[in-house]
Structures are given as structure tokens and as C-alpha cells.
Structure 1
Amino acid sequence: MTAPVTNGVVKGWCPDAWRPMMAGDGLLVRVRPPLGRLTRVQALGLCEAATRHGNGQIDATTRANLQIRGVREDSWRPLIDALLDLALIEPDPVREARANILVALEWCVGDDTHRVVEELRARLSELPDLPGKVGFAIDAGPTPVLRDAPADFRIERAMSGSLILRADGRDLGIPLSHGTEVDRLIALAHWFVDSGGRANKRMARHDALLPEWATATTPPAFAATALEPGPHPLGMALGLPFGRIAATALTRLLEAEPICAIRMTPWHVVICEADGPFQANPAEFITDPSSPVLHADACVGAPACPQATVETRALAHRLAPHVAGSLHVSGCAKGCARAAPADIVLTGRKGRYDLAYAARAGSLPAVTGLDAAQILAHFGAA
């Protein structure tokens, strides 16, 4: 039996179901739903497992994964068994670690996205041993939607309508012929390792010259606009405040509305596939696309994260309506909630906050050593 990882200060890897990480509120267990979708039965089972074996809090990540929080060490194996019964994780820990696949949101059975993802999942054993944070985006819908989501190898639509394979950090992609997409992706992953990519850890940092067979010549199509809460062709899109939802709230939603499945996204929004109209606006979710919380990112903060020295989400919630642009409140300099720069960044340091503008967490601050009251007063939110 695989033993859980309990060292909360390990960096450079992502936890998963078979390798949970110890946080301040217990073990953190990450679930990667196949094709980014949970059926109604799977979603209800996940909520029950999160309540029975964890603290009932579930986080949605920027990789469209789910994290069950507060899992007790003696409950980890029963939780794994429950997730296996629900077919939400791979029984092979190596395959589970490699199944870091982002999927275009509106895929349907038999389309290019579905076809490529299913083949890639079937061939996970052919991938090399990649750094823990490396992932794939299969963005083969009519228009790319995952352009700003974290991934290292991207299969996406070109301006011409054909598919390309694009290494993250490169502007152009490699033209693909039908049926060769996964062959080329696996080959590029092997090139990444063979050319020293493990030292750089991410494709965007790896500036080695692409192999001759992978000459990039083709630009991707223009990206679609960001997904917002509200009615959706598949049903309803709902926002999750800071990516967090209580299992009890999700259970109530599933029992009250005609939801047949839930699709995860890399943003704080889920798509509820529904057989009919929603009866009400659920209070625990964001239904207004103009909500300022949608433009705010905040990690779990202290005390749930052992690296954080400050509270984050309550402050972000109060501050968001008073900030023009994007807001990021990070409990420490790691910046787990947002990798990209934000207009306003607050980084926890020794129990207080550093303030920076147009920056990432941990960037050189404009003002240091602020407390929450000073920050709220500075932005007129006191």
C-alpha cells in the first residue's frame, strides 16, 4: 500500500490521490476526474467521501482538479477505496500521476477532443518520467479555450481549422495529421526529457531548439472569451468563491436541480449539465458574471496551509469590490492560487502583508508590513 506524503514543505511537485500532501488542516488529496467530468453519481459520492473522510471542504484547482481537504491519515486508505469505486482515480499510482490532462470544456463523445484524450489516457504508460507539475492541454474544440490555463504540451486548433501541437512558451505549433496527435505529443514529451527539460521543470522555461521533425510553423486560432457564470448551452455555469465549495452545499445543489453531470474548468467556474432549467439561484455559488470575487484569487491561507502566515480569503472577499482589476491575496511568496501577475498583489510575510502592483506573489513590494485594517483603509474598504 502506498503511504501518504506528510511533509508539508515539499516543493516542485503536485499532490494527487496516491501522493497526498499534509496541510495545516490535514491531508490534501487531489482528484483528477477523467475528461474533467463527474457524473451525478460520482459527484454525490465525492461529496459523501469528502464529508466522511475529510473536513467536507473541496477546492477546485487551476488544472480543473478537485482537492479534498482535511483528510485524516487513518482515513486516507478508505478514501482511496471510495474514489476507486467511483472510477475517479486510476488504480495504478504511476498512471494517476501522469494523467495531468486539461480538457476543452464543451467536448462531446466522438469529437477531436474526446478522441485524443481517450487515446492519450490509454497510452499513459508510454510517456517518460516527467517533472511533477508538467501537464497536457487537449484544446481541440472549434476555438481554443485553454490558452491561459497551465499546461506544457498543447494540442489545439489552428487558424486553418486543422490541429497543431504547441510547446508552451512558443508562439507557433507543429501541424498534425489526423490520427497522429498522440504519437507526436508522446514524442515531444520524450524530447523534452532527453534534451534536459527535467532540469528546467516546465516547457515554458526550456529554451532548447525543437527537433527537426517538430518544426513549429503554424499559429493557433484566436482564443475564445472567458467562461462566465450564467446560462450555458450545456445547462448552467456557476462560480465558486475562490474555488472552494462545501460538500454539503454541492450535495444540496445536486439534489435540488436537474443536474446530470458537472464539468470542471481551470477557473473558479463549473459547468452543470442539466436536463432542465434551474429552479433557483443557489446562494453558495456565484451566478452574477459581474461579481468582483470572480476577479480575485486567494489561496487557503493560514492556518490551513503551513507555509502561510496570514489569513487570505476573508480579506480578499472584503477587498475585491474596492479593487479595479485583478486581485491576488497569497499567504506566502509561493503564490499557489495564481501564477500570472495581478493588478494588486498582497503577499503574507511574517504575519503581515506586502503590497505590490502589477506583480506576482513574492515580487518586490511597494509597501511592506501592513496589517488587514491598514490594507482595507488604503483601498477605502474599512
Structure 2
Amino acid sequence: MTGPEIKGWCPGALRPMQSGDGLVVRIRPFNGRLRRAQADGIATLAAAHGNGMIDLSSRGNLQIRGVTEKSYPPLIEGLRRMALLDPDEAVESRRNILLTPFWQTGGETETLGPALTAAVSAEDAPVTPGKFGYAVDTGREPVLQNASADIRLERDAGGGLILIADGSDKGKAVTVETAADEAIALAHWFMENRGDHTRMAGLLAEGAKLPADHFVPRQQQSHRPAPGYTPLGAMIGLAFGQLTVETLASLAKQGGLRMTPWRMLLVEGAREFPGVEGVITDPNDPLLRIVACTGAPRCAQGLVETRPLARQLAPHLKDGQFLHVSGCAKGCAHPRPASLTVTATTEGLDLIRDGRASDAPEQTGLTPQEIPETL
């Protein structure tokens, strides 16, 4: 049996990816934020040049779906006019930068985000693998430790900035002025030592030793993201990280949007949850504890319609259980272990406990009707 195709890179706007429902065009908002006009403009462009569906990725990016070869050029021109594009494909591929959504106006994150963007966009920046990325997680306590990133900026217990290689429990002390350059230096170190590795944690797990100045203990994350009010606005959830153009346009009327890796958006300045169809406001909604990839037929490699199955299984989840429904063994939507994973195969559905979509299953060949009995 032929396995799923591993592309090894993420789509962009300048390098879209072909999927079962057309081209996927990924927009990487600068500094993790969309102004109201930009969010509304994206909704308009997605309605005119896509199929009306938009994904919020686990890296805090928006993906317009259903784009055709004919509609792609006017879509790109529209994004360019809204200043949402990088100068070229090479820069775009390196600018995988995730920012904490809880930054304050005038704070250090507002400086660090643009500084790191400029550093990875420079001509002499290291050409890192396609999924290699950075996190600016510089609130008082970290909130992005469970999100995908290879080089991280956090605060130590005393409030100082530290640079961390993902997979290490210690970091290097840096300042606001030196942080971006130090991050690039660490990326260069990775490229010089990586061998066949494409991610930092894999390299360190194999035994690579960081420079001796990485000795400052990092804090452990206690933050658990959920819909609710924050001093900056309202956090709302999106089932499976997907929204329609109508939902995006409605949210844009409420305020600027800050991206998150949690399939949630922070709506700036909102004093109450926006009464918008398709958003989750209940922090106890079991859909918040389910990740499901696009699945068939929108993904050419998907073997089942994942999201209807996920909705069917949601009422059967027990407290504390986290479910990943994957249309194939790649597990794109959640590459890490989950307490429960349902993976589609050509022989039926596999159930995996405390593992990834590609791990050995506990049960195989299940039907959708049999899965609830096993959870």
C-alpha cells in the first residue's frame, strides 16, 4: 500500500499548495495581527477568488481555500495591495514567526516581532527547512510552548529575556536589542549541525550539544487557552480552525484580529462575545478538544470526511480527553501525540491511544459507528 505523500513544506501565498478543492493560499499576517480593513479585505478576496472557506492554521496563519489557476493572480494582487505579502517566495518561506496574542501596545513584543521579521528577511539569513519557525512568547509567563516553533524567545522566572532552542529546558540570556541577531545566530548553528534533521527538537534529542551560554532555566507553561474575556478583547474559538468568509467579515466589524495557534482568534477591544455564527464562546465545548484535518474530499490524500466524524464523536469525549481525527497517517493537523487519535486507512478507522496518527493502533478496521464505544 502506498503511504501518504509527505511534502515537507508549508504552503504560502507566493507558493500555494494544490489540494483536493483547489489551491491553498496561506497568508502569514505580519506580527500576528490583521487590521480590521485587512480582515475584511481577505474575506472579500476569499469570496471572489476562493470557495468561501478559510482555515486558521496551527501556526496562526490564514488559508484561503478553493483557489483556481485563473483566480490566483487577482487574489495575489489584492493581497499585495493590502501589504500582506513578502517581497519574494524565499523570504516568505523563512518568515514562520508566531507571536503571543497577549502583547501590549508599547511593549517589547511590538519591537521584537518586527526586528525578527527583518532579520529572517535579510539576504544573509539562513535558508532553514520549510517547517522551521520562531516564537516570540515574551509575556510574563509563556503561552506558546505547545505550539510549533524551533527557536523561542521567552522570559525566565526573573523576567529577563532568554533565547531557547526547542527541546531544551534552558536558554541564553539576551536583550531586546540583541534578541533578533541571537535568534539568527542560533538558526545558523542549527544549519551547521543539523545533518538530516529539519527541526531543532529532533537534533537535540539525538544528542547535539548547545553552546555553553545556554544555561538559564526556562519557565514551564501553565496557560490553558480557552474562549473568554481578556484585558485586550474577546477570545473566540473556531471548530477545527475553519470559518466562512461571512464569519470573518463579521468578526472584522468587531475589531482587529490577533492570530493564535489554538484555532482561536482574539478580537481586539470586544467587550462581549461577537454574536457571529460559527464561533465558539463556551470554554467547555468539546469541539475545542478535537483537532480534525481537512479530510476528504478537500484533501487529495484524505480517506474519510474527518469533520463530520469529529462532530459525531464530540459528545462522547470524556473530561480531559483530547481527540485527533486524521484523514491519513500523516497527521498534519496535529503532529504530536494525543490521548485519542482516530486515523483513516484503506481498511477502516484505526484507534490510537496516547500517540500520533502514524503510531501503532490499539484497534483497527473500525467503522464510524463503532468508534464511540471505544472512546
TM-score range relative to shorter protein: over 0.9
Could you tell me whether the CA contact under 8 Å between 1:43 and 1:262 is conserved in 2? Answer: yes
Is 1:342–2:338 an aligned residue pair? yes
Matched with 2:230 is 232
**Correspondence list, 1:256-295, <5 A:** 259-274=254-269, 277-278=271-272, 281-295=275-289
Match in the other structure for 2:77 = 81
In 2: Cα distance, 1:366 partner to 1:211 partner: 38
What amino acid is aligned across from residue 360 of structure 1 in structure 2? R
State how many pairs are aligned.
366
The match for 1:191 among 183, 189, 192 is 189
Partner of 2:364: 368
| Corresponding residue number in structure 1 for 2:8 | 12
Q: Does 1:200 align with 2:189?
A: no
CA offset at residue 376 of structure 1? 3.5
Shift in Å, 1:350: 0.8
Instruction: Assess if the C-alpha contact under 8 Å between 2:250 and 2:276 holds in 1.
Output: no
Deviates more, 1:33-42 or 1:74-83: 74-83
Equivalent of 1:172, from 167, 170, 173? 170
CA distance in 1, matches of 2:61, 2:176: 29
2:351 equivalent in structure 1: 355
Matches for 1:1-382 after TM superposition, within 5 Å:
9=5, 11-124=7-120, 125=122, 126-195=124-193, 197=194, 199-207=196-204, 209-210=208-209, 212=211, 215-255=213-253, 259-274=254-269, 277-278=271-272, 281-324=275-318, 325-350=321-346, 352-379=348-375
- Aligned-partner Cα distance in 2 for 1:10–1:267: 24
SS of 1:114's equivalent in the other structure is helix
Deviations 1:86-123 (A, max 9, x none): 11221322221111100011113432212111111122
Give the whole-Å Cα distance in 1 for the aligned partners of 2:372 and 2:322.
Answer: 16
Shift of 1:317: 1.1
Q: Is the CA contact (8 Å cut-off) linking 1:309 and 1:351 kept in structure 2?
A: no
Deviation at 1:181, TM superposition (A): 0.8
Q: State how far apart, in whole Å, the 1-side matches of 2:357 and 2:273 are.
A: 40
In structure 2, distance between residues paired with 1:120 and 1:244: 28
Does the Cα contact within 8 Å between 1:298 and 1:313 map onto a contact in 2? yes
The 3-state SS of whatever aligns with 2:170 is coil
How far is the alpha carbon of 1:10 from its aligned partner?
5.2
Q: CA deviation at 1:176?
A: 1.3
Judged with a 3 Å threshold, the aligned counterparts in structure 2 of structure 1 residues 74 and 204 are, in CA distance, closer, same or farther, namely: same
Secondary structure at the counterpart of residue 336 of structure 1: coil
Are the aligned partners of 2:166 and 2:201 in contact in 1 as well (CA < 8 Å)? yes
Deviation at 1:368, TM superposition (A): 0.8
**Matched position secondary structure for 2:71:** helix
TM-score, scaled to structure 2: 0.93
Would the alpha carbon gap of residues 106 and 280 (structure 1) be closer, same or farther in structure 2, given more than 3 Å must change? Answer: closer
Instruction: Give, in whole Å, the separation in 2 of the partners of 1:319 and 1:27.
Output: 29
What's the secondary structure of 2:111's corresponding residue?
helix
Q: Which amino acid aligns with 2:127?
A: D
- Alignment correspondent of 1:3: none
Q: Please state whether the residue corresponding to 1:289 is helix, strand or coil.
A: coil
Q: Secondary structure at the match of 1:128?
A: coil
Question: Distance between the aligned counterparts of 1:178 and 1:312, measured in 2?
Answer: 43
Report deviation, 1:323: 1.5
- 1:279 & 1:349 partners in 2: Cα distance? 39
Q: Distance in 2 between matches of 1:321 and 1:215?
A: 49
What secondary structure does 1:354 align onto?
strand
In the TM superposition, residue 260 of structure 1 has moved relative to its aligned partner by 2.3
The superposition leaves residues 334-366 of structure 1 with CA deviations (integer Å, 9 ceiling, x where unpaired) of 111112211111001016211111111121111
Distance 1:211 1:314 in 2: 45
Deviation at 1:211, TM superposition (A): 5.3
Question: 2:251, 2:267 within 8 Å by CA — same for their partners in 1?
Answer: no
Relative to 1, partners in 2 of residues 1:161 and 1:92: Cα closer, same or farther, differing over 3 Å?
same
Secondary structure of the corresponding residue to residue 370 of structure 2:
helix
CA-atom RMSD in angstroms = 1.7
Distance 2:331 2:6 in 1: 15
- Offset at residue 230 of structure 1 (A): 1.7
| Mapped contact 1:84–1:91 kept (Cα < 8 A) | no
CA contact (8 A) 1:333 1:362 kept: yes
> Kindly tell me: are residues 111 and 357 of structure 1, through their superposed partners in 2, closer, same or farther at Cα, counting changes over 3 Å?
same
Contact kept in structure 1, 2:162 and 2:171, CA below 8 Å: yes
Give, as a single letter, the amino acid of the residue that structure 1 aligns with 2:202: R
Go from structure 1 to structure 2 and tell me whether the alpha carbon gap of 1:11 and 1:198 turns closer, same or farther (over 3 Å shift).
farther
